[in-house]
Amino acid sequence: MLRNGLEPWHVALAVLVFLLLFGSKKLPDAARGLGKSMRILKSEARAMKEESAAPPVTEAAQATETTPTVTATGAHQV
């Protein structure tokens, strides 16, 4: 009888295949690398989401944000 989904023996077989292919010494390093990649992906996705949520800054808005300053010599700087 064919059922959809994984059964416990499927998982055990997959673990056995990974152990045979990669060895028990390389698996922790692979898991660490995968975890690090996932954290980087999540942080980049979060940064992109925050960027898109922020209102866009136009050149006119940037020009009004910077105010000229007067130096000791009286010259204006932007």
Residue 27 and residue 18 in contact, taking contact as beta carbons nearer than 8 Å: yes
Each domain of the chain, given as residue ranges in start order, spans 24-53
Instruction: State the Cα–Cα distance between residues 36 and 43, nearest whole angstrom.
Output: 11
Query: Quick one: DSSP state of residue 15?
Result: H
pLDDT value for 73: 64
- pTM for the whole thing? 0.43
Mark residue 68 as left, alpha or beta (left: phi above 0; alpha: psi -120 to 50; beta: remaining): beta
Q: Summarize pLDDT for 23-67 with one digit per residue, the tens.
A: 878 878 888 999 999 999 999 999 999 988 877 666 666 655 555
pLDDT value for 52: 86
- Is residue 78 scored above 60 in pLDDT? no
Q: What is the CA radius of gyration of the chain?
A: 28
